[in-house]
Amino acid sequence: MRTLLVAALVATTPLPALNPQALHAAISDLDHPAATSAQLRVSGDAGRWYGTAGTADLRRPVRPGDRFRIGSVTKVFVATVTLQLAHERRIDLGQTVQHYLPGVLPPSLEPITVEQLLNHTSGIPNEVEMPDLSTPEKVLDHRYDRWAPGERARHIPDTPAKFAPGTRQEYRGINYVLAAMLVEEVTGHDYGREVEKRILRPLHLTDTYVPGRNETALRGAHVHGYLDVPGRGLVDVSDINTSRSYGEGDMVSTTGDLTAFTKALFSGQLLPKALLDRMFTLPDVSMPDGRPAAYGAGLQTFTINGVTVWGKTGEQYGYNAGLFSTRDQQRRIAYSFTPTARDEAQQQMTLRIANAVTSAG
């Protein structure tokens, strides 16, 4: 698989000054999408700003230390640990998943490398016979289901891959379920223990954690997430078992901790340059809709208003979050909001935030 390094050079073009009014406007419209709260933290050499809108639990304002579910931002932590293990020569990124996890993948699948998991070029077919979570009522029916990592993998059908590994890119959560399982196989520890030992404790990220597989309640002060359920109104879904999203979307954090993590990661504190560059390397393939690849090993990228940022978005029921930064860290962004429906309307908030943090004042 050919690759294209897209961010080897540090940008030197100054970013526009922050516009506090535009930043506040971006998060204060809680009708588009319908949401109960939002918060945004902007930092970096080109300016700082923090603001909130709405309430944490329908009563009190959001506070900077309030935790929230970060969804797929979890993948950045898992990718970082996997790359650290590669640096220690405990994982070979070019070795196959089948080598490290024999019998986990169906025999019909071609060999898939560890790096193909991390950059979503594995071609693993869609899981089958999964619980139907298409409505708020069905989410509530399954909110306390407990999943073991191997159980999720058993829903991968014994059919040919969607495409030959390494030839296309399709974002799939199962890639990171398998990556977390691989971390556990190599280290003998839960992936959460490795995240804590390698990232959280060294960086003093005391408000970030990986929930236990039986854990449902958020620890400490937190922003509550809600779903708008027909006939019942807003139902608090903060208390939920996220083990189905093990390794790909189950972590909890704050905007402050996400900012500190981004700063350390992009500054090279967690990975040597050669492996950090893998996160900023896009495979030279297309996505299913024909667009160029947008995901490196753990990070995604987009350009808006001429500004290119790298990071990750994330969702859980009742929550939406993200961390992004320019490669040179002139501008780092961490945000969270609590939409009451899990649909495409959530993009309205993320697009407003993206525009506000990259536009001229």
Q: What percent of the chain has pLDDT over 70?
A: 96
Q: What pLDDT does 5 receive?
A: 38
Classify burial at 236, counting beta carbons within 10 Å of its beta carbon; exposed 0-12, middle 13-18, buried 19 or more.
middle
Query: Mean pLDDT over residues 42-50, rounded?
Result: 96
Q: What are phi and psi of 91, to 5 degrees?
A: -130, 135
Q: What is the pLDDT of residues 157-169, one digit of tens each?
A: 999 999 999 999 9
Q: Per-residue pLDDT averaged across 348-359, rounded? A: 96
What residue ranges define each of the domains in the chain, with the CATH number in brackets?
16-358 (3.40.710.10)
Exposure of 114 in the CB half-sphere (CA atoms within 13 A): 24
Residue range 74-103: mean pLDDT, rounded: 98
Residue 11 clears pLDDT 90, i.e. is over it = no
Interval 338-352: pLDDT, tens: 999 999 999 999 999
Given a cut of 90, is residue 60 above it in pLDDT? yes
pTM given for the model:
0.95
Strand partners, 240: none
pLDDT in tens, 232-268: 999 999 999 999 999 999 999 999 999 999 999 999 9
Question: For residue range 290-299, what is the model confidence (pLDDT) as tens digits?
Answer: 999 999 999 9
255-266 and 74-87 helices, crossing angle to 10°? 30
Q: What local confidence, expressed as pLDDT, does residue 236 receive?
A: 98
pLDDT class of 360 with cuts at 50, 70, 90? confident
CA distance 95 to 360: 46
Contact present, 211 and 114 (Cβ < 8 Å): no
pLDDT > 90: percent of the chain? 94
- pLDDT digits over 108-164, tens only? 999 999 999 999 999 999 999 999 999 999 999 999 999 998 899 999 999 999 999
> How far, in whole angstroms, is CA 37 from its chain's centroid?
20
d(CA 206, CA 152) in angstroms, rounded, equals 29
How many CB atoms within 10 Å of residue 18? 19
Please, is 6 exposed, middle or buried when counting C-beta atoms within 10 Å of its C-beta (0-12, 13-18, 19+)?
Answer: middle
Neighbour tally for 110: CB within 10 Å: 15
pLDDT computed for residue 10 by the predictor:
41
Please tell me the predicted confidence (pLDDT) of residue 361: 62
Asked whether the predicted pLDDT for residue 354 surpasses 90, the reply is yes
Q: What is the pLDDT of residues 267-319, one digit of tens each?
A: 999 999 999 999 999 999 999 999 999 999 999 999 999 999 999 999 999 99
Distance, CA of 191 to CA of 301 (rounded, Å) = 25
The Cα-based distances of 104 to 122, 182, 249, 267 in angstroms read: 14, 11, 20, 36
HSE (side-chain half, CA atoms, 13 Å) at 289: 3
- CA dihedral (11, 117, 261, 27) in degrees, to 10, reads 80
pLDDT score for 14: 82
* pLDDT surpasses 70 at 1: no
